Amino acid sequence: MFIDRTKALLMIGPALHLRDVIEHDNKLLIVVLWYANLAAGLRRPECVIPLASVPHEINETDPKFPRYLVDGIFPESLFLGTASENELQQYGVQKGPNATFPILSPTRH
């Protein structure tokens, strides 16, 4: 398992957002929510959406854009942890894998 350093670009409410994409058990997962343990310097994906379950395009040519371009608009409640059970089911949100990743410092360009 590793963190796919590429991102997914998707509409959350009225705005475009970049979300982490991880690979686990040969599946790509968009991380909806991270649970962070700052003292340990680790985080784990609390909720994920399988990339294969949402319409998307793969960008292999333009390095200025993220690798995964997800179609559709997602409600903000999914990413704030306030979604109803119906919303979670409608958008295919699943419990994240039992895996931890280092908390990474933001990259500056």
Q: Per residue in 53-104, pLDDT tens?
A: 999 999 988 877 889 999 999 999 999 989 999 999 999 999 999 999 898 7
In a domain, 96, yes or no: yes
Query: Which of 76, 77, 70, 79 shows the shortest CA–CA distance to 50?
Result: 70
- Measured between alpha carbons, how far is 17 from 8 in angstroms, rounded to an integer? 8
List the domain range (segments joined by +) for residue 33.
2-102
**For the whole model, what pTM was predicted?**
0.85
Q: What is the mean pLDDT of the chain?
A: 88
Two tokens, residue 82: 């306030």
- SS3 for 90? helix
In a domain, 108, yes or no: no
Share of the chain above pLDDT 90, in %: 76
92 and 43 Cβ atoms separated by less than 8 Å = no
Q: How many domains does the chain have?
A: 1
In a domain, 72, yes or no: yes
Give the type of residue at 102.
P
In a domain, 109, yes or no: no
| In 35-82, alpha helices (H) | 76-80
In a domain, 13, yes or no: yes
**Alpha carbon 40 to its chain's center:** 22
